[in-house]
Each structure stands twice: as C-alpha cells, then as structure tokens.
A and B are shown apart, each in its own frame.
Chain A
C-alpha cells in the first residue's frame, strides 16, 4: 500500500440481475482528503459505497484498508465500522424512538459494573459531543422530536465519534439548509485536518468545489478517472460524468420567453393555507405560463403546491380553476379539474415500485376514469408505448417493474403518468432532483414545450438556474410564507436576494 493511502479498492465487480452495476472499478482514498465520488444516476456510486460498507457482496476485486494486512471483506456495516469505515446515508439511519444519546451510543454503550448500560455517562458524553459540534439538542429527548436536519447531524456526530479512518457521506446535505451545510463543511474540514479520509457523494456541484480535494468519476459502472480538483473545471466534470459535451442547457437558456400575462387565468388562489405548514397566500397562474417557486428547503414551497393540489387539504381560502371557484378535498378532485402533481419524494409518493411501467403510466388516467371504466389492455399498451417514446424512458419493455429503472427514468415514468391524463395545470415539485444532467435538460425542455402547448405549470426547484431558464414568473417563499413575486429582471442575483430577504444582507 502506498504512503498516505487509507483505503484502496481494486477491480471491484458486482452484478445485479441483468445489470453490471460495477465493472473493474478502482478507487483510492488518501489520508486527510475530501474525495468526491461523482456520477450520474446508475453510474454505480451507491453500489460502490455499499461494497465498501459490507452491504453488498461484490463478486471480484479487493479492498485494502490502512493498518490491516490482507484484503478486507466486510459482510456487514458492523464489520466495516470495525475496520474504521463509517457511513452516513441520505436517509437518516437512526432509531426515532430512542433518545439522541442512545442513538449516538447504541451498540457501544459504556457499561456499569453491574453489566447494565451506563446511561448517565453516555448522556454526559453525548451532550459534550453535540455541544462541541454546535448542535443545540437535549440528548435525553427522543430523536423523533427533532427535525430531519438535526437527525442528520446526529447521524454524522455518531460516525464522527466512532473514530473512523474513512467517513463516507452519502448525500448528507440533501436535507440540510445552507447554514447547516456550512456547519457540516466546517466539520468535514476539521476532520480532514485530523487525517480522516472522507468520501463525499453529492449531486450539488457547488458543494464539490467548495469542499473537496479530489474527484473520482464513475459512469455506467465503470471508472472514468480520478482527478485533483484543480485539474477538473466544472465543464470537464460534467463532460466526464455525461461522457459527451452538452450544449443542451445553453440552448434552452437562449430561448426567449414570451409574454403570457394577458392569457386567461388558469389557477387563482386567494388566501389558501394549510395550518402548520403554509400561511395564507395568493397566487395566479395564466394559461401557458410557467411559474417557479423559489425558496429554501422548508420555506413552504412544496406545501404551497400541496395545498393547491389537495395533497394537504387547504384549511382556509378559496381556489378558482379556469375562473370557477372549486373545492378540493382529495387529489382526485384536483385531477378531475385538470391538475396533476409530480411530488418531490419520488420513492414515497411517486412510483408504485412493484407495478410495471405500463401500469404506472396509466394509473392516474385510470383513476380519473373510475374503477368501473377499465382501460382495455390494448389501449393501456398503446398509451404506455406512446409516452415511453415521448419522454424517452429507457426500459427493456412495458412490463418491466418500475423499481428496476434508474431514478431518472422513474421520474420520467411519473411525468408520463401525468402527461397521459392531458392536464391543463401541472405541478412539478423538484422534477430534476437526484437525476442526471442529461435527463435534467430533457425535463426542462419538456416544461417549455408543454407551456408552449398552452398548459400551465408550477415548477419548484432548488436550482435557481433551471427555473430562470424556464419560468415566466417566480414566487418567492420564506419561512412558510409567500413573500413576493418576480416577473421581470429574473436573474440569479435578484432571486437570491429575494429569497434571503430585504434587510438581512448575506
């Protein structure tokens, strides 16, 4: 093993039924570096990490860890922890019904001389750990009493406290706000300085350049290359990930956005609210208009959309669709008024994993037709084929289970589901999150195209740039409240300023 190297993986190969998830992949992590692992969806990042942490059993290859002679083969996360590899996953992997302190210490609790757990001791130590990290929690409270962001920080605190040599952060920032991300970065840098090797997986390019020293890029289960950060500017990184030069994004940007403010109103919300999540707001959307919702995570941007769609029943206010006042109790009511919603949580609220692509596509249309009005099988296949072609879903055939598709293709299936219902008004909540750059640009193009056909679209995204490319107008959200709208001078800077708020300079 070379000097300074803390972890090497050589020739890792792993197959899932029908797919070569990893093929002869090498990876090297040095002491005291933050190493970004990049790739599109389906590139094999998660699989590689699962091989390192013992969740996946790889078929060929070797992993070496500093200080351990011979190849390491982990069979469980416990094995991995014992050789010094700790992981914090995207989903918080803690027990909500236990206290914060217990979550930090479970499996390695200090014991009293009576062989019982020494609660007082680990409560004290936990409080110290959390205080040092600047996380304001009462460690004796149950974890479920805290926000997702705090839970995430607890997960990281746990990994940090395990004295790991290798810390794997698998999209840890997706549920954190800017301030918390910065806090995490500070922590990552200080750990790096202590000599910990950190593998950082994220979809946010900015974050990679903010904190990483080195980048390894994977594509289609194969290694593209390993680069020092200075040698790989953004454009090159995207090119390495995509495997092709991409001018599509720029192409959309150039398109001029026509004025649609004189078109008739499609949606008009007055004083709509949902107790506890979103304060009363007014919102008008014209036919053929794309309205963006900009705001930080947790600012109420998803909740606004959910209140319109009836995913959360509005507790006050009125909603008019096409000029007529309507009552929406359940999503089906909204659908019957010509709405559709692509929710932000694809796994939990989007796909029906065990159903086929065909069934997933026709589901909403079938729901609209009602239980006793079954679409014939031939008709179903025709519709599915049409939309698979239209949104370019990459699937073996219609009967493939949707859970077997990659994230981006799953997202397209849901998009196809809504297009099949021919909606007048479509809500797209983070349609591009967690999917590859190529699919992103396809979806953005699709949005512009749909608007051109006279459909109204509510577009929510955490990437301001992509909203700038597609939206006519943007509503600004802050702390569960709609604080304003921008309809001219749509620039990144203006939007950021609006989100950050008037008086507070940032």
Chain B
C-alpha cells in the first residue's frame, strides 16, 4: 500500500484544525508586533510583576489568554460531552453561569443586600450551593432531553431565557457585591498563578482522567452515534445523555463562580453573556462535529483558548469589545466553511481530476 503523504497525514490529524487556528492567531500577533516595532516575541513573554497589593504575579499576553479563557475552557468540557452524546448544544450555559453566580452571591451577602463585607454564610457553603444549582440546572436540561426526548436546543432554550431572569429575581434586581477578600480568590491569584487557570486545569485533568480510566467516553460516543443500537448493546442511552447534561451544568456552575469571583459580584445581566456561543464555538473549532458522535476533548480546550486569543488579539489591535463579534463571525464562518463536506468533496474531485490528467 502507498504510504500517505506527509501533508495528508498532517491534515488528517484530529487536532489539525484547532492547532492551526491557534498558530494563525499567534502569527497575527507577531506580525502586528513587528509592524508596530515592538519585540516580535512579546506575545510569548511572561514576566513577574508587582501588584498594588504588594503581591507578585505572572504577567504576559499568554497568561492573560489562559486566565481569561478559563471560563470558556471549563464550559467547553461539558459542551463537548453534550454535543457528542445528544448531537445538540446546551445553549443555557451562559445563563446558568449567571444564575449560579447570583445564587452564590445572594447566599454570601444575604437576600436583598447589595453589598456585603462580612459573609452571611460560610464561603464554602455559598460556593458549593452555587455549583450544586448548576448541577440541578443540568439535571433539568438532561431530563427534558433524555427522558422527554426534546430537542436539546429547545430544551435548553427554557433555561437560556429563564435562568438569568431567576438570578435577577434572587438578587432582587440588584448587582450584589461580595467585598470579602476570600471570595475574590477564585478569580484572583493563587501565588503567582491566576486561580482561574488552576481551576480550569483541575477540571480538564479530572475529566481527562475520568475519560481515560472509565468507559464513559466510549459510552457517550456510542450513544451519540447510534442511541438505539447502544441500548440494545446494554447501554442506558437516556441515563448517559442525562449524565452529560448534568456534567455540563456542573461545569457551568464552576465557571459561574469563577466569573463572579473575578468581579467579586453577581452582575446577573452580564455574567456569562454570549458564553454559550463561545463554548459551542470552541467545540466546533476543536474539530468536533456538532452532529454528535466522536469527540476530541483536547481539541475543544485548544479551541476555547484560541477563541480567547482571538478576542485578546482583537483588543490589542484596537477593536472595541462591541465590534469584536464581527471578526469572530468572519472567523467562525471561514472555519466551518473550510470543513464543510460539500467543499471538501469539491476539492477532492478537483484533485482527482488533476491526478487523472497528470497520469494521462
């Protein structure tokens, strides 16, 4: 048999797309740095910097991307599983983040209090309650999708519009501030490293271990590819789909706490806004089919940080945060269009025609 060419092997690699996109973003940064006369490698520079609070922290654009991209990376884990098992997306994650943050801050500050310096309940209770609420939201979505057979997008549409509103209700229409140093730690720094990076790393690590050491990954893919056949082969398809939504809710809860801790408050209207889009995008960018089935977690994670890198780069290029979506949209369309089966088929036909011509 003829060995595949180097190029074919590279493009066939499952992480080809996410890695190439990440490299592209880096290239844009380097070119920009050269153009403005800065050190071409400033993108990769990591330095130690003194903070106003007399601490020392890591500083640099890469650190910033890793830090700011944490929430999307955490969400992308759950989203990958949901997409794989149910061929649908959980569009409620952003709202659920907001709800969890609101619930957590409401417990910590007390109902109706808009700004608290002393905690109304132990920190750990607030945090766990917030995450637990995320799990419950996930279970709600999971029940609708798995046991009622409702289309994922519709099922999660309910919490998409309700969760944020319920969060507002919990906070009595206020932005609740928890001005207590300990709460801020989850969005701050652990030593010199940003805590969100650590939290994201832990989430990724745990999930990777679970996928390596249990049959969960195979179960999810099997159910995603053919649910009926999986059931006959002894898998409880419904329970597995339910589980993926529950996990997705769990990760949304964790992301919500991180996002809330970052700003030491629960800003119901803005926490997690459009994050569901970023999370879905991360999954797609990671080379995963949104039609379900096989998944690649590493791809989604790289995808998540790529999105953050794009955002950060755009800001660095002077694009405002409200205008940035234009570029994101263009990038999304380019990525998915390149992957589109009809286009691939067309290219293949053209290549084949070329080969035939060459042979003749």
Of A255-263, A284-292, A341-349, the one contacting chain B is A341-349
Digit string of B223-255 for contact with A (CB within 8 Å is 1, else 0)? 001101111111110000000000000000000
Question: A371 within 8 Å of B by Cβ?
Answer: yes
Nearest Cβ distance between residue A64 and chain B, in whole angstroms?
23
Is A55 an interface position by the 8 A CB rule? no
Q: Which residue of A lies closest to B345 (CB)?
A: A57
Q: Check if A354 sits within 8 Å of B214, measured CB to CB.
A: no
Bound-state CA distance A341–B236 (Å) is 16
Question: Which chain B residues lie closer than 8 Å to A373 at the CB level?
Answer: 215
Closest residue on chain A to residue B292 by CB atoms: A354
> CB-nearest residue of chain B relative to A335?
B234
Say yes or no: is A412 at the interface (Cβ < 8 Å to chain B).
Answer: no
In the complex, number of A-B residue pairs with CB atoms less than 8 Å apart: 77
- Select one of A348, A375, A417 contacting B228, CB under 8 A: A348
User: Please, which residues of chain B bring their CB within 8 A of the CB of A343?
Assistant: 229, 232
Given A363-B222, A364-B234, A367-B234 in contact, is the A350-B229 Cβ separation under 8 Å?
Answer: yes
Interface residues of A (CB under 8 A from B): 57, 59, 311, 330-332, 335, 341, 343, 348-355, 359, 363-364, 366-375, 417
Specify the main secondary structure of chain B where it touches its partner: helix
Alpha-carbon distance A332/B226, docked complex (angstroms): 16
Given A363-B218, A374-B215, do A349 and B225 touch, yes or no (CB 8 Å)?
A: no
Q: Please count how many residues in chain B sit with their CB below 8 Å of the partner chain's CB atoms.
A: 24
**Interchain nearest-CB distance for A321 vs B (Å):** 16
A143 CB, min distance to chain B CBs, angstroms: 22
Tell me the B273-305 residues at the A interface (CB within 8 Å): 293-294
Tell me which residues across on chain B come within 8 A of A332, comparing CB atoms: 234-236
**Cα(A331)–Cα(B235), bound, Å:** 8
Using Cβ atoms and an 8 Å threshold, which residues of chain B touch A369?
Answer: 215
Given contacts A330-B236, A354-B294, contact A349 B214 (CB under 8 A): no
List residues of B (196-225) whose CB comes within 8 Å of A's CBs: 213-216, 218-219, 221-222, 225
A309 CB to closest chain B CB, in angstroms? Answer: 8
Q: Mark B27-41, 1 if CB is under 8 A from A, else 0.
A: 000000000000000
Q: Least Cβ distance of B235 to chain A in Å?
A: 5
Decide if B350 is an interface residue (CB 8 Å cutoff): no
Bound complex: CA A352 to CA B349 (Å): 29
A318 to B233, CA, bound (A): 23
A-B contact pairs, 12 of them (CB 8 A): A311-B232, A331-B234, A332-B236, A341-B232, A352-B221, A352-B222, A352-B226, A354-B225, A355-B225, A363-B235, A368-B234, A370-B215
CA distance A186 to B49 in the complex (A): 88
Select one of B215, B221, B232 contacting A354, CB under 8 A: B221
* Other 16 A-B pairs with CB < 8 A, given A349-B229, A355-B225: A59-B352, A59-B356, A311-B231, A330-B231, A331-B231, A349-B232, A351-B226, A352-B222, A352-B225, A352-B229, A352-B233, A366-B215, A370-B215, A371-B214, A371-B215, A374-B215
Residue of A nearest to B349 (CB): A57
CB neighbours of B349 from chain A (8 A): 57
CA distance A353 to B289 in the complex (A): 15
Question: In this complex, what residue of B is CB-closest to A333?
Answer: B234
Inside 8 A of B213's CB, which chain A residues have their CB? 374
Q: Are B232 and A351 in contact (CB under 8 A)?
A: no
Q: How far is the CB of A286 from chain B (nearest CB, A)?
A: 25
- Give bound CA distance, A363 to B221, whole Å: 11
Cα–Cα, bound, A359→B235 (Å): 14
Q: Are B293 and A354 in contact (CB under 8 A)?
A: yes
Closest-CB distance, A448 to chain B (whole angstroms): 24
Query: Complex Cα distance A71/B218, Å?
Result: 49
A364 to B231, CA, bound (A): 10
CA distance A353 to B294 in the complex (A): 11
Q: Which of B214, B218, B225, B294 has the most CB of A within 10 A?
A: B218
Q: Using CB atoms, name the residue of chain A closest to B348.
A: A17
- Give A372 to B219 CA distance when docked, in angstroms: 11
